[in-house]
Amino acid sequence: MSLTRTLKVLSKDFRLGPRSPIFLWVLFVPVLFTLILQVTFGSLFDPKPRLGIVDQGTSTITTSVQGMEGIELSLIDDADELKSKVEADDLDAGLVLQAGFDDQVRSGAQPPLEFYVGGESLASNRIILAVTTVDLIREVEGTPPPVEVAVVPLGDEGLPIAVRLVPFIMMYALVIAAVFLPAFSIADEREKGTLNALIVTPVKLSEVLTAKGILGVILALAMTVATLWLNDALGAKPLALFVVLLFGAVMCAQIGLIFGAVSKDITSVYALIKGTGILLIGPSVFYIWPDWPQWIAKIFPTYWVINPIFEVSLNNAGLADVWVELAIALGVIALLALALLQLTRRLGTQLATAT
């Protein structure tokens, strides 16, 4: 296989790629998908902290919060209703102020303070509301805080839904760029007869497939990094992130080449991707619903690249923390390479026979 001829094919695909709707789809759909989901669930544009207060007296704390532009305040009549709203993630936190709270604080007493936070709320919002509450109490008394704020989590204490959606969005970007693009490109050229013309040229079929795989890997890396950046999930270890993303892009590109090699036309590619899509995206669903049995996700081959990306980008893990997953992913990549080699030979025979 000639590197020079492979790079020439790659250059041609880059030059002509923007003319294809699939190429443009690869570039814009993941970003659009990210914007829609993150605007919906509030991670890309963080909402104001939402505080609910049950004021059983006439506390100056309530008046002070009403004058703050950075906090969205809801006045609730009943403590049980407040807890229900916090549990339902309608509020980030809830505060119950008993009657005479301010007078007790000024007299030096330590009145009980009920402060609830929702498991789905952003950690930054919890901190803002908790610190704000302590500061306001300090203003009422005029000395260091006379009460200790006990933060009582209500509901699921896991990651916010916007964060748990990141693996799904990221895998979507990977699959579109590394699977769809090579598969559709091969099928399109086969349908148009371009691949048949290669039989009488110095360019080998393996070089064409390699070029299309490299194109898928490059675009997959670019789009996945863009997706993680939009979700503020690039992590603190760029080298580790690049390595795990490279593993994911290579595995997905291999799958895309296999799909393209076994499909006679674009319609066949659509049918194949539609029938196997769950095998590609499936593991990311288990991050959205963490209560599901997590061992099921490990059955999917793509789990072994999704999880390392998740751990490195969102949990700041290093390569030493995900080496087991990467070793398994490397084994999957090796098996896919063997399968792709056999399919390339078979496709070459079919093209030669058709010619």
DSSP 184-197: HHHHHHHHHTHHHH
Contact, 244 vs 312, CB < 8 A?
Answer: yes
Q: What is the pLDDT of residue 156?
A: 45
pLDDT of residue 47: 63
The residue to which tokens 């007078």 are assigned: 103
Q: Where are the beta strands (DSSP E) in the chain?
A: 50-55, 72-75, 93-97, 114-118, 150-154
Cα–Cα distances (Å) from 129 to 27, 54, 114, 121, in that order, read 39, 15, 13, 11
Residue pair 290/209 in contact (Cβ under 8 Å)? The answer is no
Write out the H or E segment, with its range, that includes residue 312: helix 303-315
Secondary structure class of 210 (helix, strand, coil): helix
The Cα 236–Cα 180 span in angstroms is 30
pLDDT score for 144: 58
Query: What CATH homologous superfamily does 50-158 map to?
Result: abc type-2 transporter like domain (3.40.1710.10)
**For residue 333, how far is the Cα from the chain centroid?**
22
Handedness of CA 295, 301, 303, 304 (dihedral sign): positive
Query: Which among 261, 260, 244, 262 is positioned nearest to 303, based on CA atoms?
Result: 244
Sheet containing 150-154: order of strands: 72-75, 50-55, 93-97, 114-118, 150-154
> Hey, what amino acid is at 337?
A
Question: Which residues belong to CATH 3.40.1710.10 in the chain?
Answer: 50-158
Q: What is the reported pLDDT for 157?
A: 47
- The rounded distance, in Å, linking the Cα atoms of 139 and 271 is 66
Cα distance between residue 136 and residue 296, in whole Å: 48
State phi, psi for 115 to the nearest 5 degrees.
-135, 115
Among 174, 201, 355, residue whose Cα is nearest residue 281? 174
Please give the Cα distance from 168 to 174 (Å, whole number).
Answer: 10
- For 346, the token pair is 């078979």
Q: Which residues of the chain have pLDDT under 70?
A: 1, 17-18, 37-47, 123-124, 142-163, 198-200, 354-355
AA identity, residue 196: N
Question: What span, in angstroms and rounded, lies between the C-alpha atoms of 26 and 216?
Answer: 10
**pLDDT given for residue 325 in this prediction:** 93
Q: Cβ neighbours of residue 111 under 8 Å, at least 6 residues apart?
A: 98, 100, 101, 104, 105, 147
Longest dimension (CA), the chain: 96
First-to-final CA distance of the chain:
22
CA distance 241 to 235: 8
| The two three-digit tokens of residue 282, written as one number | 């499936």
Instruction: Supply the pLDDT for residue 245.
Output: 93
From the CB of residue 173, how many other CB atoms can be counted at a distance below 10 Å?
27
